[in-house]
Chains A and B, each alone.
Chain A
Amino acid sequence: MALVEIKNLHKSFGTNHVLRGIDFTVEQGEVVCVIGPSGSGKSTLLRCVNLLEKPQEGQVIVRGEDITDPDCHLDAARQQIGMVFQQFNLFPHLSVLANCTVAQRTVLKRGPQDADRIARANLERVGLSDKIHAYPAQLSGGQQQRVAIARALSMDPALMLFDEPTSALDPELVGDVLTVMRKLALDGMTMLVVTHEMAFAREVADRVVFMDAGVIVEQGPPADVIGSPKEERTRTFLRRVLDPTHVEPA
């Protein structure tokens, strides 16, 4: 059984039809990178997986449970789905450690010692053991994003969603975050990553999904989709991304 199964997903914002019938699955342990031009609906797709956006039509099935069903316990389902945002969205009034324990304590009802131990372990995993008592505002963007990853991991998720996790970072800080994500993938975490980092997608992803104009244009192993794309739209996009200074002949 697939960990995530998406069937005929449609999402509109007003008259803007952003997702036009998406079908796809993520298997246990798989790392899937979603690429595509801005406005193609890839972030919206990701936000539909934990229902931060409510689709108008279609199903999102996580571990056999349809989370678009009004009877579904959405909060319980979301605990299993960690999410990392482009803008980090750390809680600025809480210390790094408290950022990683607050949901453990209040949602999972873990005791203070357990929550603390798990948070410290995850902060060590992202290489920030020395920043435990700092506040988000005292950290660099790269450090904040790694705390956000540790915060999500502290809930022991079955799946991690990454919404352009390096797009808001200064170029020299991107590497640290990607290193953490690569390590996570090697540890067997199931990951769904919306990204513009083609090198990361090529190296880490098991499968690359190319989206354009609200549909999946093509998907497959990174060597195929990025290396030798079949569709013209994919080729055009990759040309622009991989060689931005290239001038197309008139």
Chain B
Amino acid sequence: MSTSTDTPVERKGLSPRRRAQRSRWIQYAVLVVLILVAVFVANWHQIGSVFFKPEFIKSTFTDGVLKALLKTLEYTAGAFVIGLAGGTLLALMKLSQVGPYRWIATAYIEFFRGLPAIVVFIAFSLLPLAFPGMTIPWDPYGVVWLALGIVASAYMAEVIRAGIQAVPKGQVEAARSLGMPAGLAMRKIVLPQAFRIVLPPLTNDLILLVKDSSLVFMIGVAADGYELTGFGRDLANTYSNLTPIVVCGFCYLVITLPLGILARRLEARTARTR
């Protein structure tokens, strides 16, 4: 390892390590150049006044961005509960011994996973037109929870089914050998373990649901039912300025980033206990 004259074969050019080092320097240099260009070419004053105008940031808060954030949370939470209940039911149907239940569950899951969520929301917005006089209770929560929950249950069903199937077969055998009927074994032994397994992917579904709740504005709820996106869009139109949307965007991150960290922690915990 001392000098190059020790090596019997003369190699041409740089060693692989030297080449990698040079490549890294080039990448740094490109990055610095791009940043310098951005700093000198961009109109920072205009960017600041369009995206981050201080008085609009302030008025976004006084106009009720926190109320809209609360609405987003309420819509998401209700839809998550419906999605969890519906998803569990669909997962059990998909694992049923009775063929038609399996077919119905498969059809439902494939249908609503294959559709863009926004199509479902447009359909819900047209329901009152198609069926005059039809109302869904707890306006606006009922219709929002139903629309979001229908889509969420299709996604969650597959996750929960995988979780149920990940519980070792020996668990059911042990429960049945103690005299537990199949339903009792499912409730007391399998489902508690399945939910522990699917906690990380369900947290990821919750993040998706937070974002999908932005589609609520397609249903056409009244202004006091606005969640973050509807609220932000409305206000941005009023001000002819993007600042409210930027504030609303940050509000989403305030919810989704901690949930993402939580999901990764749960994943790490699951990996440890296996």
Chain A residues at the B interface, C-beta cutoff of 8 Å: 50, 52, 75-76, 78-79, 81-83, 85, 87, 89-93, 102-103, 106-108, 137, 148, 151-152, 155
B188 adjacent to A102 (CB under 8 Å):
yes
Chain B residue contacts of A89, Cβ below 8 A? 168, 170-171, 173-174
A93/B192 contact (C-beta < 8 A), A87-B170, A107-B184 known: yes
Which of B230-274 touch A at CB < 8 Å?
273
**Contact between B181 and A75 (Cβ–Cβ < 8 Å)?**
yes
Q: Is A106 a contact partner of B180 (Cβ separation < 8 A)?
A: yes
CB <8 Å contact, B178 and A85: no
Indicate if B66 sits at the interface (CB-CB under 8 A). no
| Complex contacts, B174 vs chain A, CB 8 Å | 83, 85, 89-91, 148
Most buried by A among B174, B179, B184, B189: B179
B179, B192, B193, B273: the one contacting A75 at CB < 8 Å is B179
Q: How many whole Å from B265's CB to the nearest CB in chain A? A: 19
CB distance from A233 to the nearest CB of B (A): 30
* A103–B171 alpha-carbon span in the complex (Å): 13
Return the chain B residue nearest A47 by Cβ: B173
B: number of interface residues (CB 8 Å): 19
Q: Judge whether B3 is part of the interface by a CB distance below 8 angstroms.
A: no
Q: Is B5 an interface residue (CB 8 A)?
A: no
Residues of chain B from 156 to 187 with CB closer than 8 A to chain A in the complex = 168, 170-171, 173-181, 184
Residues of B within 8 A of A52 (CB): 173, 176-177
Taking the closest CB of chain A, its distance from the CB of B247, in whole angstroms, is 43
Q: How distant is the Cα of A93 from the Cα of B171 in the complex, in angstroms?
A: 11
Residues of B within 8 A of A76 (CB): 179
Q: Which residue on chain B has the smallest CB distance to residue A103? A: B178
Residue of A nearest to B171 (CB): A89
When distances are taken between beta carbons in the complex, the residues of chain B under 8 Å from A91 are 171, 174-175, 189, 193
Most buried by A among B171, B174, B175, B184: B174
Report the separation of the CA atoms of residues A138 and B132 in the bound assembly, to the nearest whole angstrom. 62
Q: Would you call B179 and A155 a contact (CB within 8 A)?
A: yes
B203 to chain A, nearest CB (A): 19
CB pair B176–A78 under 8 Å, yes or no, is yes
Interface string of B188-208 (1 = CB under 8 A from A): 110011001000000000000
Q: Could you list 20 further interchain pairs (A-B, Cβ under 8 angstroms) beyond the known A52-B176, A75-B181, A89-B173? A: A52-B173, A52-B177, A75-B176, A75-B180, A78-B176, A78-B178, A78-B179, A79-B178, A79-B179, A83-B173, A89-B171, A90-B174, A91-B171, A93-B196, A102-B189, A106-B180, A106-B184, A107-B179, A151-B178, A155-B178
| Contact indicator A106/B170 (Cβ below 8 Å) | no
- Report the nearest B residue to A53, measured CB to CB: B173
Contacts of A81 in B (CB 8 A): 177
Bound CA–CA A216/B244 (angstroms) = 81
Please give me the residue from chain A that is nearest to B181 by CB atom: A75
Residues of A within 8 A of B178 (CB): 78-79, 103, 107, 151-152, 155
| Chain B positions within 8 Å of A107 at CB level | 178-180, 184
**Considering the chains assembled together, what is the distance between the CA atoms of A131 and B192 in angstroms?**
22
> In the bound complex, do residue B177 and residue A83 qualify as a contact, i.e. CB atoms below 8 Å apart?
yes
- Chain A contacts for B181, CB-based, 8 A: 75
How many angstroms from the CA of A107 to the CA of B180 in the assembled complex? 6
Q: How far is the CB of B93 from chain A (nearest CB, A)?
A: 23
Give A78 to B179 CA distance when docked, in angstroms. Answer: 5
In whole angstroms, what is the CA distance A26 to B170 when docked? Answer: 25
* With A85-B170, A89-B170: A106-B188 Cβ-Cβ less than 8 Å: yes
Residues of A within 8 A of B179 (CB): 75-76, 78-79, 103, 107-108, 155
B192 CB to nearest chain A CB (Å): 5
Most chain B beta-carbon contacts within 10 A, residue among A79, A87, A107, A152 = A107
Report B187 CB to chain A, min CB distance, Å: 9
- Across the interface, B177 reaches (CB within 8 A) one of A50, A93, A102, A137, namely A50
Residues of A within 8 A of B184 (CB): 106-107
16 contacts between A and B (CB under 8 A): A52-B173, A76-B179, A79-B179, A82-B177, A85-B173, A85-B174, A89-B168, A91-B175, A93-B192, A93-B193, A93-B196, A103-B175, A103-B178, A103-B180, A106-B184, A148-B174
Complexed CA–CA distance, A69 and B273 (Å): 42
Closest to B178 in A: A103
Residues of A near B176 (CB, < 8 A) are: 52, 75, 78
Instruction: Give the chain B neighbours of A152 by CB distance below 8 A.
Output: 177-178
Query: Nearest-CB distance from B84 to chain A (Å)?
Result: 18
Q: How far is the CA of A89 from the CA of B176 in the complex (A)?
A: 12
